[in-house]
Structure 1
Amino acid sequence: MKENIRIKETRIKLTTDIKDHGLPGFILKERLLLEDYIRRKPHFLTSLEPLPAQDGPTIVRMMLKAGLIGGVGPMAAVAGTISELSLHYLMDKGSRYTIIDNGGDIALINDRKVNIGLYAGDSPLSGEIGFQLKASRKPRGVCTSSGTVGHSISFGRADAVTVFASQASIADALATSIANAANGASDHEAVENALEKAEGFKDYFHGILVVVGENAGIIGRIPKLVKTDKKVTIGELWDV
């Protein structure tokens, strides 16, 4: 089953083997918990720095933890956290194949190979390459941050920083943090600075791809790169 779910700022492309899943209601509940927390503690919404761990609903505690790991504000992890929570909700219903793409921040479990296309703005690599993920019984996160695409705050100029990790919440925060470091006198230097920043997070990711213009760099182990069609980008290329 494939469908789009839109709840306020949340924009999810869902592929799942679960019928009558009730995911929109679950997402709405989690969003209401987060919004209530922000009303009581508005600094949570605006902080660009990590905040100390606090009591709160699961969504808040996950975002705080991810922000502390990545050295960024908790809202940097909101999309990945919603994806991760939604994935576990469907896994509890027995799912073995679910892909939740929340604006490019993906949580998935897959019992077959999956291709995910790369969208990197005006970079020549955008839409030309993708990642082939092997089947896995364990949930994973694939999150992308950009300084040239989208409305999220970024202090760098990366066309794409894609992070592969066990948890989408942490992958989201790391992608933001590493993308912030993608600066320099040249595109090559920007990639090097981003990869240097990534070195400090080695305990929390499987692999990272950084793209700035025609330059790209990799740290750790990323899935197999595959050739894709220019028309195909993230969220539009799934099954092998």
Structure 2
Amino acid sequence: MIRAHFQFKETITTILAEEQTWIDVAKEAMITARQDLERYIAGDPFFQMTLEPYTPDQGPIIAERMAVAAGGAGVGPMAAVAGTIAAIGVEAMAWEGALFGVIDNGGDIALITDRPLRVGVYAGASSLSGKVAFVVPPQPAIYGICTSSATVGPSISFGVADAVTVFSADPSVADAWATALCNQLRPGETTAFDRLPGSGVDGAVAILGDEVQRFGSVPPMVGAVVDENLITAGELY
């Protein structure tokens, strides 16, 4: 397996693949998607600034995917940027025949995998941080595992959770809902999960200090030793 660090402007990723060819096509796809988004934002800067749902006016596919996912979660389109860019990269790998490919865009992960895969959890000052991982079963289709934190990383958050991880067949949806849930969840308070049925979210896990909150179907959590050197810095928005 090849592990490659890839950064293009504010997009900072780790790519895993079996062949360099698939890493190269993922990079190209992510660059193209980001350039399409930048051109759109140049003509519609409100798309980037708003924290509320927003429908773009004839935007590129990446903007439309971000806006749809974020609208369902009740957040601004940029809440879905990292997961969407990661998904576009993995889709390019799959199109070229890859059966295994992972893109971690600052904790927002899109993947396909023909084998079980462990995804570690980094949750800031929580006692669980770096000590647990999700065991993800083989996923022949694109899948999203996206995490938002109010205590780690550069992203805007109005919450207190150390980590909220969301699982969905649509990485854009996973990313948007990770942000939305992280904004809303509080210790001992899980009513934010009430909005998830029918949203496209399979499951979610929130870590708030030593408290763990769960919704829906999530992969098993097991003990792990997470190497912090492998953590990918966040999308700088």
Write the mapping of 1:22-171 to structure 2, written as runs, cut at 5 A. Answer: 22=24, 23-171=26-174
Deviation of 1:178 after TM superposition, in Å, equals 0.5
Partner in structure 1 of residue 194 of structure 2: 199
Unmatched 5+ stretches in structure 1: none
Deviation of 1:198 after TM superposition, in Å, equals 2.1
Matched residue type, 1:70: A
Moved over 4 A (4+): 232-236
- Aligned mates of 1:164, 1:155 — CA distance in 2: 21
- Aligned mates of 2:229, 2:5 — CA distance in 1: 16
- Aligned mates of 2:29, 2:170 — CA distance in 1: 19
Partner in structure 1 of residue 225 of structure 2: 229
Matched residue type, 2:222: V
Matched residue type, 1:69: G
Q: 1:230 to 1:58 in 2, by over 3 A?
A: closer
CA shift digits 1:177-226 (9 cap, x unpaired): 0000024xxxx33xx2xx31122122211110011111111010110111
How many equivalent residue pairs? Answer: 228
Conserved? CA contact 1:142–1:164, under 8 Å: yes
- Partner SS state of residue 115, structure 2: coil
Give % identity. 37
- Residues 1:209 and 2:205 are matched in the alignment: yes
- Partner SS state of residue 20, structure 1: helix
Deviation of 1:175 after TM superposition, in Å, equals 0.4
Matched residue type, 1:41: D
Conserved? CA contact 2:47–2:56, under 8 Å: no
